[in-house]
């Protein structure tokens, strides 16, 4: 396989922008599917789970492979709903490029911003595809303006639409200088014609803007542009590709996937502008023995194997499947690999190339590809696979903490074991889904990213694992923090006749400015505590941070420094210092004005003007604050921040207040102090 003609891409966007519909068209035009699967008919190939087909949403990212004009495209269709943002996060980690899909009417929506930030985080070059140009209110230029203003990107239009709304019939390609019309229903025979005369002025203006942007990237373009000479399509494509890979520009194209217009040109853009694995820097790893030792691996079959497990999925037929990106070397069937993260050896029984929920067996796979491996027993999301004699650990993935919890219990005693197995499998598959047991009540508590997330989990338990469960009321995942700096000590002394226990620590605790996370610092001097006991102190504090003093919630936003202490030559031990550290932490928390923190959600509501007052009034009644309002077509967009605890059942309330005409989306923003009267109720239970 020619790695230069390989594209690992993802389709990412806000919910309902048309990601899965676009993916289905790609599969159809590349010959992977012989007919088009529609989301609204529950027949989309990429939405292969029954739940996805019934609800018309994407829940898990599906991977597939297709061919286009000599290029191999590994395609991942990601969910748009914020509750499943982990699927986008881990896909972005292993992708080389992305297609960001925007609705021509909705423009840049909240989850558009989230996936854009995720792509920025992993330095993923992207192209923008403005979909739904056939919809009433479609505004191509308006969306390009929003990409610039709200995402801070530099969009460069390489196409302009011919017509809009119901008159949208095709696109003008500004690079090749041609008009492409879609006349037949399936869009399989596009007509290429000269550019219509009435578009001449618009084309001239758009081409000048394109070349002006490309002049900053390619000197040859700048010289020709300044001299007023013709710039060839080949040179323009080279400059666009260079600028896209360097993340200096974002080429923008348009179409209507549902009406089968523009998708072939989107595939051309993927091949022309998005990078192959060879265009990107080598992957960086660290030595398992010394994290200061940096190891580079190039996308080359002759280098040692390096591969990242970015997803674990439970397949109804194959069981546990590990999705793997091969960064270097080659992987062969029936060989052993080493998991440098867990320290386990794994046997590669099968190598599968995935086509959504269908698969093809391979004997070997080379650098650059994305594949699936069944039956890896000791491998989790984020683990690195490599040869035992050439180890490295690739940067793992980080996931947000859950913000909502509820209790589940089996309906019958017979369901108990099945529930345990199902929860274990689903938590392995989804790192943002956390299962724990409440020691006081004996209940099983499941936590996730939102009401829909947990609703889907419960539904999957019933369908895939045959478990009938009873579900408690949703609970908000509160946090605790401190408001002032304090000093405290913990002393653990126990004499039991023989050897005793002695641990003594003095700590200083201070709030962190950003209000996030937890930091530990060792500031001891002069050997007041021997170095071998410092890790035990750190471990004791790390465990203590998980349980605050107000309501036993995890503690965030603080820095703890170990400043002093003492030890006993005979009686001191690791466990004694660990307990002493925990005692010091509890003492410091009580003195540091602890406060309860609640998750605040960023909410965007799209409502007709007539209901604006009712919607804003309702937000205020939920302790929310409105941050801004925009006008989009004939609707109002309200942006604000509302505590999660006040948002349960909001979908039903919003529908009843607006006769079902308003929609909303929300995503976690930050933790903020809970008002005293609310905190009092929460802590009383």
Q: What is the pLDDT of residues 96-137, one digit of tens each?
A: 999 999 999 989 887 788 788 888 888 999 999 999 999 999
- pLDDT score recorded for residue 39: 45
Angle at 115 between CA 237 and CA 374, to 5 degrees: 95
Block residue for tokens 């031990």: 573
Show the tokens assigned to 469: 């469960």
Higher-pLDDT residue of 235, 411: 235
What is the C-alpha to C-alpha distance for residues 127 and 13, in angstroms, rounded to an integer? Answer: 12
Whether pLDDT at 241 is above 60: yes
Whether pLDDT at 472 is above 90: no
Whether pLDDT at 331 is above 70: yes
User: pLDDT category, 276, cuts 50, 70, 90?
Assistant: very high
User: pLDDT category, 48, cuts 50, 70, 90?
Assistant: very low
- pLDDT score recorded for residue 81: 62
- pLDDT score recorded for residue 53: 46
Sorted by sequence, the CB contacts under 8 Å of residue 204 that are 6+ apart come out as none
Q: What is the pTM of this model?
A: 0.74
What size, in residues, is the chain? Answer: 685
Q: What average pLDDT score do residues 245-258 get?
A: 95
What is the C-alpha to C-alpha distance for residues 185 and 188, in angstroms, rounded to an integer? Answer: 8
- pLDDT score recorded for residue 27: 84
User: pLDDT category, 516, cuts 50, 70, 90?
Assistant: confident
Angle at 430 between CA 425 and CA 434, to 5 degrees: 80
Show the tokens assigned to 256: 């209507």
Q: What dihedral angle (degrees, nearest 10) is formed by the CA atoms of 287, 291, 296, 302?
A: 10
Contact yes or no for 425/467 (Cβ under 8 A): no
- pLDDT score recorded for residue 429: 82
Nearest residue to 234 via CA among 171, 173, 175? 175
pLDDT in tens, 60-98: 556 788 889 999 999 887 765 666 777 778 788 889 999
Whether pLDDT at 47 is above 50: no
Contact yes or no for 455/449 (Cβ under 8 A): no
- pLDDT score recorded for residue 31: 79
Contact yes or no for 524/565 (Cβ under 8 A): yes
What is the C-alpha to C-alpha distance for residues 94 and 78, in angstroms, rounded to an integer? Answer: 13
pLDDT in tens, 564-580: 999 998 888 999 999 99
Sorted by sequence, the CB contacts under 8 Å of residue 110 that are 6+ apart come out as 14, 82, 602, 604, 665, 666, 667
Contact yes or no for 432/402 (Cβ under 8 A): yes
- pLDDT score recorded for residue 43: 42
Assign 128 to helix, strand or coil: strand
What is the C-alpha to C-alpha distance for residues 5 and 12, in angstroms, rounded to an integer? Answer: 22
Share of the chain above pLDDT 90, in %: 54
- pLDDT score recorded for residue 639: 92
Q: What average pLDDT score do residues 608-613 get?
A: 90
Sorted by sequence, the CB contacts under 8 Å of residue 455 that are 6+ apart come out as none
pLDDT in tens, 597-607: 999 999 989 88
Beta bridge partners of 498: none
pLDDT in tens, 157-185: 999 999 989 899 999 999 999 999 998 88
DSSP letter at 497? S
What is the C-alpha to C-alpha distance for residues 37 and 281, in angstroms, rounded to an integer? Answer: 37
Assign 216 to helix, strand or coil: coil
Average pLDDT, the chain: 87
pLDDT in tens, 544-567: 999 999 998 999 999 999 999 999
Sorted by sequence, the CB contacts under 8 Å of residue 123 that are 6+ apart come out as 247
Whether pLDDT at 477 is above 80: yes
Share of the chain above pLDDT 70, in %: 93
Show the tokens assigned to 16: 């309902």
DSSP letter at 36? P
């Amino acid at each position: 396989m020619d790695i230069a003609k390989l594209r690992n891409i993802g389709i990412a966007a806000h919910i309902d922008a048309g990601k899965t519909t676009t993916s289905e068209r790609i599969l159809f035009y590349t010959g992977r599917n012989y007919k088009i699967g529609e989301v609204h008919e529950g027949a989309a190939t990429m939405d292969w789970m029954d739940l996805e087909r019934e609800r018309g949403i994407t829940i898990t990212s599906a991977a597939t492979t297709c061919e286009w004009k000599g290029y191999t495209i590994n395609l991942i269709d990601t969910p748009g709903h914020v509750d499943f943002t982990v699927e986008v996060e881990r896909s972005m980690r292993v992708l080389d490029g992305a297609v960001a899909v925007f609705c021509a009417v909705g423009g840049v929506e909240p989850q558009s911003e989230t996936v854009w930030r995720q792509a920025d985080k992993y330095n993923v070059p992207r192209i923008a595809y403005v979909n739904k140009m056939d919809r009433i209110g479609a505004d191509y230029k308006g969306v390009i303006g929003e990409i610039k203003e709200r995402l801070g990107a530099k969009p460069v239009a390489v196409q302009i639409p011919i017509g809009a709304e119901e008159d949208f019939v095709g696109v003008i390609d500004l690079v090749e200088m041609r008009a492409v019309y879609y006349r037949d229903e399936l869009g399989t025979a596009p007509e290429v014609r000269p550019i219509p005369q009435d578009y001449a002025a618009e084309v001239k203006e758009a081409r000048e803007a394109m070349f002006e942007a490309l002049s900053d990237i390619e000197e040859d373009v700048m010289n020709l542009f300044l001299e007023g000479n013709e710039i060839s399509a080949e040179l323009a494509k080279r400059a666009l590709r260079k600028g896209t890979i360097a993340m200096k520009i974002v080429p923008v194209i348009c179409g209507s996937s549902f009406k089968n217009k523009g998708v072939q040109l989107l595939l051309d853009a993927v091949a022309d502008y998005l990078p192959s694995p060879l265009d990107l820097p080598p992957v960086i790893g660290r030595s398992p023995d010394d994290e200061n030792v940096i190891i580079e691996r190039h996308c080359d079959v002759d280098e040692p194997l390096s591969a990242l497990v970015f997803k674990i999925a439970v397949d109804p037929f194959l069981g546990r499947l590990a999705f793997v990106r091969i960064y270097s070397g080659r992987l062969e069937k029936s060989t052993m690999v080493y998991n440098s993260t867990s320290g386990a050896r794994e046997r590669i029984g099968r190598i599968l190339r995935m086509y959504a929920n269908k698969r093809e067996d391979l004997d070997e796979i080379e650098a650059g590809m994305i594949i699936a491996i069944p039956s890896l027993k000791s491998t989790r999301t984020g683990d690195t696979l490599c040869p035992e004699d050439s180890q490295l650990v690739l940067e793992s993935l980080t996931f947000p903490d859950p913000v909502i919890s509820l209790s589940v219990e089996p309906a019958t005693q017979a369901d108990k074991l099945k529930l345990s197995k199902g929860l274990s499998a689903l938590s392995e598959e989804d790192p943002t889904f956390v299962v724990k047991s409440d020691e006081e009540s004996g209940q099983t508590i499941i936590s996730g990213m939102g009401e829909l997330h947990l609703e889907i989990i419960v539904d999957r338990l019933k369908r895939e694992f045959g478990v009938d469960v009873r579900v408690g009321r949703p609970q908000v995942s509160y946090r605790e923090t401190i408001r002032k700096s304090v000093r405290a000590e913990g002393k653990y002394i126990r004499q039991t006749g023989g050897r005793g226990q002695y641990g003594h620590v003095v700590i200083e605790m201070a709030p962190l400015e950003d209000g996030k996370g937890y930091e530990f610092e060792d500031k001891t001097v002069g050997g007041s505590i021997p170095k071998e006991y410092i890790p035990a102190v750190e471990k004791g504090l790390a465990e203590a941070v998980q349980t605050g003093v107000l309501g036993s919630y995890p503690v965030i936003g603080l820095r703890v420094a170990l400043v002093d202490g003492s030890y006993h030559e005979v009686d001191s031990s690791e466990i004694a210092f660990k307990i002493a550290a925990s005692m010091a932490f509890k003492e410091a928390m009580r003195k540091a004005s602890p406060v309860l923190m609640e998750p605040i959600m960023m909410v965007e509501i799209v409502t007709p003007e007539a209901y604006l007052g009712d919607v804003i009034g309702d937000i205020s009644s939920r302790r929310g604050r409105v941050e801004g309002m925009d006008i989009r077509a004939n609707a109002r967009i309200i942006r604000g921040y509302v505590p999660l605890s006040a948002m349960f059942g909001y979908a039903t309330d919003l529908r009843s207040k607006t006769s079902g005409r308003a929609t909303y989306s929300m995503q976690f923003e930050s933790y903020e102090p809970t008002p005293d009267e609310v905190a009092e109720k929460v802590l009383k239970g």
